[in-house]
Structure 1
Amino acid sequence: MRRTNVAKAVLAAARAVAGPSRGPAALAAPRASRLARASVSLRRRISVGAVGVLSLAIAAGVLTTAAPAQAEITSGLLLRYKLDETSGTVAHDASGHGRDGTVNGTADWKGDEGLAFNGSNTYVKMPNNIMAGLSSITIAFDVWIDPTMGKPYFFYGLGNTSGSNGNGYLFTTGNTFRTSVSMTDYTAKQDTQPSGAAYQLARGMWKHVTYTQTGNTGILYENGVEKARKTNVTIAPGAIGGGTTTADYIGRSLYANDLYFKGRMRDFRVYNRALSASETRAIATGTEGQWEQLQALASYNGALVAFDDPTIGPVVIFPSDYTGDIEHLQTPPDWADEFGQVPTDWPTPTTAKSPLFTLDQITDLQDAVTAQIQPDGDSTTYQLNVFYDGIRDRVVAQTDAPASVTDSLASQYAGKLVIEGYTFDHPAPGKCAPEERTAGTVLSPAAAPAAGFQDAATKLQWQQVQALADHNCALAAFDDPTIGPVVIFPSDYTGDINDLQKPPGWTSEYGDVPAEWPTPTTAKSPQFTLDQVTDLQDAAVRQISADGDTTAYSLSVRYDGMRDRVVVTTDAPASVTDPLLSAYPNRVVIETAPEPTPADTANSEALVE
């Protein structure tokens, strides 16, 4: 939900103080959701800085993280299908070149969430001869692969057919993740793909895919990060079909026996040049990197908040008694984003002081609200969420307390405090609450792809997978290289594993409230109930850390969903661990604990409660 009641006084002050100073073009017109997201992320990230005394909790339903704002890189753009229509059978070309596409089969439009492809007859026919005359090319798009998608399939195919076979083409698929180019058929294809033929593009979550080719080099990117490079590509895009291609499809293979794509796509682009790595990342992540920089500027300079105004761009608001130079913000030294990227330039936001608030005044108002609604820290009667909203220049209290409790606050702080309804939903009956009797939070490591996190969007979605597992009392969540995210439940689980309940009010560590959740593959453990896992854990603790044993052994116990085993990691000798293997055949795995480093010793935490 976008906040639309922007305080005119704040914006007027911003324009008066800072004039027409604007940030980079990429920040000038983000989507509405970016405005709210930037504000929330800042509140989260500066919790350890100048405004750390503020309450930073964010209520669900107030904010959204719908499709990230995509960078407006138009140089060389041949066509762009945003695929955000709501009706009809035309995929409109937003490049201005009039290369509209036609949706065949079922046209299931999802607005900002793209076009849904049903896997049986939905595809987009692009105009003929898209690649004519091209010596270089970039194809980029957002894709969500349905977990039930079979193989083989194409995300897109540009080329020709002969009978039931492809006859010269360029295509990308997720199984295995690769881009192929051929002058004839599969026998002459040249693949650009990650090392390890089994690498798959994860399903059930949005991914951004980009392929660039120029000269003899083809590069395949996932979420703006290079995944594969081939330096001996010998087929130029324009050479295929001699420039004539009549089977230019999105969501359909050029082979009649292949499957149609099942899932969703949005923001499909074709360029007549190879985008640079930085341009590729900008398209994949939108303006996320620059918003992180804006937030870092605000935090380092002691601001209250940063947000985007649709008229003047990024805005940073300071306390009314701020004594620093708001027109010459200091950049934080040695700053890099969470993926180690060091910026070469910084945004130039409009800056202003709050007409109403010093930091102490915000803190005092927050304390007054808390004392009224949750005296003595009691949160069992009424829910409460208090934060400063720089867009409205107000302190906002979101609560389910009745007017009889809040009216006196509204009167006392008229013009400074906004009372809003508390928007958290409550868990469905019979569902466990997060962190409550959930083996996944005790015995399983956090869900994550084996390659780790390489961008903010992927990190957020894997956090969501773990949150789904925790909230629904799963045993574990993990990444399967073939089918993507998987959540495993106890064998005696009685809930509906095909209809996972979303944790109400969940946000990421930076306050992001997702507009959409991943759809992991779900299954039950063939051999473990939750009690059996915890009993085995207890047995391992008793065996390896028995009372009165003067020998100290390291011990970590977790359930491994991929192997369907309880893994005991310890430096105890076989004479200590063999009884576990005998007592629990085919259920327990003993792994040797690595030697602790000095840093591990200095920062050790209890592995077993």
Structure 2
Amino acid sequence: MLAALLLAVGAALTTAAPAQATITDGLILRYKMDETSGTVLHDSSGQNHDGTVNGTADWGADQGLGFNGSNTYVKVPDNIMAGLNSITVDFDVWIDKTMGKPYFLYGFGNTGNGSGNGYLFSTGNQFRTAVTQGDFHGEQQTRPGTSYQLARGMWKHVTYTQSGTTGILYENGVEKARNTNVTITPGSIGGGTTTADYIGRSLYSSDLYFHGRMRDFRVYNRSLGSSEVQAIATGTEEQWAQLQAMASYNGALSAFDDPTVGPVIIFPSDYTGDIDNLQTPPDWTDEFGNAPASWPTPTTAKSQLFTLQQISDLEDAVTAQVQPDGDSTYRLNVYYDGPTDQVVAQTNAPSSVTDPLNTQYAGQLVIQSDAAPSGQCAQHETAVANAVATPAAPVNGSADSLTDLQWQQVQALADYNCALTAFDDPTVGPVIIFPSDRTGDIDHLQQPPGWTSDTGQVPTDWPVPTTAKSPQFTLAQIQDIQTDAVDQISAASSDTTNYTVAVHYDGPSDRVVVETDAPASVTDPLVAAHPDQVVITAAPTPALTDN
């Protein structure tokens, strides 16, 4: 649809290139990702740390390397963090709007039995960076908060710095989070030996591959200062802040970044101004107070379907149909999508409610279901293990490749069929537990199409696990307890005492386990509020501060 829009107005394509700052002190790896062919990411740091692209490589020159979400990833040379007491990881990223969760943007460390075993990683979902000597239970996290996510469908600049006991996470050069109780140095992971150093791939076999684009990926052996982080990121940040400002000032419908052509601004169909010579807002400055020396020249086009009033009328009609008189029985998120030139309505309303809208607004409206059809979990239900459950693992480990493959398959079945958790029972073998309100057929699970193991194996057959529903919990009930636990323990923390808390669902006991170093006086009210549902255990890691 975007191509048709651009063709309709004869717009000239203008590609926005990333800023190329020249901060090189301490640089141990830099992949500009501007190659146009091949399987090698050339390291321009001078340290000869070339990377290898696995899977399908979508080369885009200035627009970086495209990751398809199914098999594309970069293998960074082993032991990339050896000897490092400090580190900076810095890169541009464009996350596809269809990206599921959980996923790693990058992960440097080790993996075993399908799980991470000491690593440093960042993700855009629950935007954060974490370091651990073991699995996710021991993560020391630097994050803005549990609900903050890195925006999709546009270029973002991500930086993580760590030195001493302080980790800082930046977005577009602006500090978003700081943790002053980080006790694990990058070089101590694996005793300096790391053989699962990836970009675009998780160290957990059940996680998703990254879907989107990256460019200018850097690793430093020191913690960059805030002014250096800003200097590298500002080119990207200024460009998109200016794009939004131009769109708003000129009365546009939408501004976004297309991974192929760069910045795009879409105007109403009845726009009478000159879209090829946009006005720049006078006296505009960026968030650092800087006035731009120049402004971007985006690709511009008019909507083929909509005036601003027509969009407003359509959004009102959708709301009246799905949520009449403010009725919130069904969820609804409705918005204009510039890349497709359509209005999108995301809702869990049934087709009996939405079909009249589809008929009346054919070609103008797209209904996206956020319900959970069998075999395709809704975004808020996918890969529950990352948030509230422990991953599948055989009781006696996976000493051979066949056993390891089978347990990767069990976790894949659990994720694809929207289970709460998967685990190994010493008597009956693999078990998958579903929410108590699950309505699908749990005796005939759907196999994820096109699935391969983390080493690329294609299974000839699939295991048949024992399946059951939780006697007590829906996913929402587990998440409510998780929220209650975090709120209760966080409220008891103070400037001098910061209690740590980690919450997960334990399938074998059908209980929610709260790991914390908070005293009984803090946790007893939580147990009383959820009788026979919550178990309190000692926290395995030192207290953390998530600022």
TM-score, with structure 1 as normaliser: 0.43
Q: Relative contact order (C-alpha < 8 Å, sep 6+): which is higher?
A: 1
The structure having more radius of gyration, on CA atoms, is 1
